[in-house]
Amino acid sequence: WRLASGAFPFSDNLARFFNFKSQQELIESFKQQVATDSDLVNCDLDVWSTALIITYLKILCWKYRSEWEFIIDDSEYWLSTQMNNLDDVDRLYEVCRKFIMERFRIETIDKDTRITIRTVKRVISYQNEDGCVDLNEKVAKFYGFQSVEEFKKHLMKYFKTERVTKLHINIWVTAYTIWYLRLVTYNYRQEWIQPYEKSYE
């Protein structure tokens, strides 16, 4: 079912995974979920179907992750090349999640915190032209803080020597991001090495 590109196109076999009789029935049902989102409704059908498969495996086949993880990483990369806006990607995955949970009557799932290419691209998008990462609400929330002030207090626990405290707060955030890329997203080094080197300078 998977193309060499990493995409999973719609098919009758795929439709049966979601308990539909045909691919057209599945397409029409999913189209209703994105009908009010002008960006998502205009996506290529292969983007929809690939996002559905990725989400399906993460929700329903998580116990067998070792069997499909490498393949899905490749598919996630393909999908990220088809959608330039990270917010659109996030919304698409969220629509897929809701669609699958409603279709299979799933009440709760564990949040998937695994690092993906999408996560790496999100980090890189916060970088300015000069390589610096500014302290703002989006960056704070990405790292799990409710506000800029909360993130700043967290940083102050680590950047507390007299020499370092004189540096601008954005330098702290940039250093924090460099550490994050090196320690947390190492498996995707090829994706962030150039932005990393820019920030490091």
Number of structural domains the chain divides into:
2
pLDDT in tens, 113-151: 456 777 888 888 888 988 899 999 999 988 888 899 999
Picking from 51-55, 84-88, 169-173, 181-185, which range would have the lowest pLDDT averaged per residue? Answer: 181-185
**Do 95 and 154 fall into the same domain?**
no
Residue-level pLDDT at 92: 94
Whether 11 shows a pLDDT value over 80: the answer reads yes
**Do 89 and 128 fall into the same domain?**
no
Structural domain ending residue among the three candidates 103, 136, 171: 103
127 is a domain residue? yes
**Do 98 and 127 fall into the same domain?**
no
Predicted confidence band of residue 7 (pLDDT cuts 50, 70, 90)? very high
C-alpha distance from residue 32 to each of 40, 43, 59, 86, 198 (Å) = 11, 14, 21, 22, 43
Contact 94, 133 (CB under 8 A): no
**Do 94 and 51 fall into the same domain?**
yes
pLDDT in tens, 27-58: 999 999 999 999 999 999 999 999 999 989 88
Residue 176: CA count within 13 A, CB half-sphere: 22
**Do 124 and 193 fall into the same domain?**
yes
Amino acid at 110: D
Neighbours of 189 (CB within 10 A): 12
**Do 23 and 52 fall into the same domain?**
yes
144 is a domain residue? yes
**Do 84 and 146 fall into the same domain?**
no
**Segments forming the whole domain that contains residue 165:** 117-200
**Do 54 and 135 fall into the same domain?**
no
